[in-house]
A and B are shown apart, each in its own frame.
Chain A
Amino acid sequence: MNLTDIKPERAPRSSSLRRQREQKIGFGLLTLAAIVTVTPIILVVVYVVIQGLPAISWEFVSAMPRDGMTAGGIFPAVVGTFWLTLGTAAVAVPIGTAAAIYLSEYAPDNAWTRTIRIAIINLAGIPSVVYGLFGLGLFVLFLNLGTSLIAGSLTLSIMTLPVIISTAEEAMRSVPNSYRVVSISLGATRWQTIKRIVLPQALPGILTGVILGLERAAGETAPILFTVAAFFLPRLPQSIFDSSMALPYHLFVISTQVPGMPVTIQYGTALVLLTFVLVMNLIAASIRSRARARRLW
C-alpha cells in the first residue's frame, strides 16, 4: 500500500450543486419580495407628487377654502395641525422624557418596573380610534373641555407617549455607564449627572423619537375625529378651547364626504400631508446619521 493508492474522497457533485441552486432560487425570491414590498412606497410618493403638484400654490396653502371646500386653500387645516402638533409636543415631550429618565436612570429591576414597561407596550398597541373614544369620554365630556384643541392635544399626547418613552429610554441607555460613574466620582449628584452628561449625550436619539412620535400624531385622524376636528370653520381657532380643522381629517372629509370635489385639490391636500410626513422623516434621519458619525463611543 503506497500513497498513490489512497484516492481523495470527492463530495458527490449533485448535492453541492443542488444546494447552490437552492440558494440562488431562495435569494432570488427574497430579493423579489423585497422589491415588491419597496416599489409601492416609491410609486405612492411619485404618484401623489405628480397628481398633486398642479394644485399646489402659495394661495393653496395660505387661503381659506371657498365654495364648500371645492375651491380655495387649506390654510385652516394646516394651522390646525400645526397647533395640535405643538400642543402634543408641549405635553408629551416633558412627561415622556421624564418617564424615560425614570426608566433608564432610577428604576430598580423589580415587578413594579416590569408593570410600567408592560403598560407602555400596551399604550403603544391601543387602536387609535380607542384613543379617540377615551379622549371623548375623559376630556371632551367628563372634564367638559368640549371639542377643542386642548382635548385633541391631550388625547394625541397620551397616544404619542409610548413612542417617546421607548426611544428616549433607549437613547439614554446607550450612553456608556462610564460617563455616569466618572461624573459621580467627581462629586456630582444623580440629577446633575443626568442633566449635564446623560441628557446632552442622548439628545439626538431623544430628538429622533420626538420627531417620529409627533409625525405620527400629526397624521392621525381617528383620535381627533371626536375630540377636536371640525368640518368647516369660518375662522381660525382663537383659543385652545376652540375646535379646529386639521389636515388628515380634511383629507378624509374631502375624499369621502364632499360630492363633486375636484380631484386635483384632493391630491393637493394629500401632497401637503405627504410632504409634511416626509420632511419629518428626513429631519429625524439626518439627526440620527449625524449623531452616529459624531458619536464618541
Chain B
Amino acid sequence: MRETSWGEFVITRLIKAAGTSAILFVILIFIFLLRESIPALTEIKLDSLLSVRWYPIEEYFGILPLIGGSVIVTIGAGLIAIPMGLACAIFIAEIAPRWLREILKPLVEVLGGLPSVLLGFLGILVIAPLVRTYMNLPTGLTAFTGALLLGAISIPTIVSVAEDAIDAVPKTYRDAALALGATEWQTIWRVTVPAARSGILTAIMLGIGRSIGETMTVMMVTGNAPIMPKGLSALFSPIRTMTATIAAEMGEVANGSLHYHTLFLIGAVLFTISLAVNLAASSVVFKQKKRAERILS
C-alpha cells in the first residue's frame, strides 16, 4: 500500500542521521576538549594544579582559586535566584489572574533573552558603582555584584521550568485539597508544590547549571582577581570564575603552550560539571515520567 520512492529513502536516511547528530556533537566536544587538555595533565604535577596560586606568567597553574570563584558566585546567585524564581513561578502559576499571566510570562522571557554582555555592561556602568557606594567597598567589581547579576540571569530559567511543572499538577489535586477545607495558601504549599517537586528540582538544577556556565557577565563585573575565596567575606571582594579565565586569557596565549592546554583543561572541567548537573536533572525527569505512568495506568 505504501510506495516508497528513492527520494523518500534518501530523505529518511538523512533524517535518521540528523537525529543521531546530537550524540555525535557531544562526543566530538568531549574528545576535542580532552585532546587539548591532556598535555596539561601530563606536564603539570597534580599538586601544582590543585594549588591556590593561579599566576600563569610565572607558571603557577593552580586552578583551585578559579573553582572557588565559580562556586562562591554560583552559591550567591542561587541564594538569590532560587527563592525569587520559585516565588515568581508560584505567583504566575497559582495566584496571578489570567491577564497578569499573559503579561508576566513574556516579560520573564524577555529577561531570559537578554544577552549576557548587556547585563554585564549595565553591571559595570550602573550596578558596580551602586554596590561600591552603598556597601562602602573599595571597588564595586566583586563576587557579590556577579552573584546579583547571575541570579537575575538564572531566574527566567527557574521560573519557566518550575511554572510548567506547577501548572502540570492536575486540577483534581487542588480541588480535593480545597474541598477538604484547606485555604489556597495551604493547598499551594502542602499539595501543589510537593506534587511538582521533581519539576521544581529540575528547574533549580538547570538554573544552577546556567549560573556555573555564565561567562561574559561574570567576566565584566567580578573583578577578575584569581584569589582563593576564604569564607563569606570573600563575597565582597573580587574573584575570578573558571569561565571568565578561559574567556579572558585565551586571546593572549601562545598556541600549544602550557597555558593554552591548561585553559582547555578548565574547559574540560566545566564540561564535566555541566554533564553531571544535566545527567542528574534528566534522571529526575525520567524518574518522574515513570512514576506518572504508573499512577495513570
Query: Which A residues have a C-beta under 8 Å from some C-beta of B?
Result: 19-20, 22-23, 26-27, 29-31, 33-34, 36-38, 40-42, 44-45, 47-48, 94-96, 98-99, 101-103, 106-107, 114-134, 136-138, 141-142, 158, 161-162, 165, 184, 187, 189-192, 212, 215-216, 219-222, 225-226, 248-249, 251-252, 255-256, 263, 266, 270, 273-274, 277-278, 280-281, 285
Contacts and interface: CB of A to CB of B under 8 A. Distances in A.
Contacts, number: 265
A258 to B, nearest CB: 13
B13 to A, nearest CB: 11
Contacts of A31: 91, 95
Nearest to B116: A221
B107 A38 contact: yes
A36 B84 contact: yes
A130 B113 contact: no
B106 A281 contact: yes
B23 interface: yes
Contacts of A281: 106, 109-110, 113
B55 interface: no
Contacts of B85: 37
B176 interface: no
**Which 5 residue pairs across A and B have the least CB separation, nearest first?**
A127-B213, A102-B19, A219-B115, A98-B18, A33-B87
A221 B115 contact: yes
B243 A122 contact: no
Nearest to B269: A130
A277 B115 contact: yes
Given A22-B185, A248-B115, A165 B15 contact: no
Contact of B118 (A99, A116, A251): A251
Contact of B215 (A19, A101, A127, A191): A127
A130 B109 CA distance: 24
A41 B104 contact: no
A137 B115 contact: no
A107 B18 CA distance: 12
Nearest to B155: A37
A107 B282 contact: no
B35 A120 contact: no
Contacts of B95: 27, 30-31
Contacts of A95: 18, 21
Contact of B110 (A41, A103, A216): A41
A118 to B, nearest CB: 5
Nearest to A115: B23
Nearest to A159: B25
Contacts of A106: 12, 15-16, 19
Interface stretch (B40-48, B132-140, B226-234, B272-280): B272-280
B58 interface: no
14 contacts: A23-B185, A30-B95, A44-B114, A103-B19, A127-B270, A127-B274, A130-B271, A158-B29, A161-B25, A190-B2, A191-B11, A212-B113, A219-B117, A255-B124
Contacts of A141: 255
A189 B111 CA distance: 43
A20 B110 CA distance: 35
Nearest to A112: B20
B168 interface: no
Interface residues of B, number: 93
Contacts of B282: 117-118, 121
A124 B17 CA distance: 19
B131 interface: no
A270 B174 CA distance: 45
A226 B206 CA distance: 26
Contact of A130 (B29, B121, B159, B185): B29
Given A44-B114, A119-B22, A127-B214, 12 more contacts: A37-B84, A37-B155, A37-B159, A99-B15, A101-B15, A116-B19, A116-B23, A123-B25, A161-B25, A189-B2, A190-B2, A222-B243
A111 B4 CA distance: 28
A174 B28 CA distance: 32
A10 to B, nearest CB: 14
B271 to A, nearest CB: 5
B36 interface: yes
Interface in B74-102: 83-85, 87-88, 90-92, 95-96
A281 B88 CA distance: 21
Nearest to A267: B125
Given A31-B95, A34-B92, A122-B274, A41 B107 contact: yes
A22 B279 CA distance: 39
B246 interface: yes
A29 B188 CA distance: 14
Given A130-B271, A191-B8, A226 B185 contact: no
A128 B215 contact: yes
Interface in B188-236: 188-189, 206, 209-210, 212-216, 220
Contact of B19 (A107, A249, A273): A107
Contact of B96 (A34, A94, A107, A131): A34
A26 B215 CA distance: 36
A25 to B, nearest CB: 9
A129 B246 contact: yes
B264 A137 contact: yes
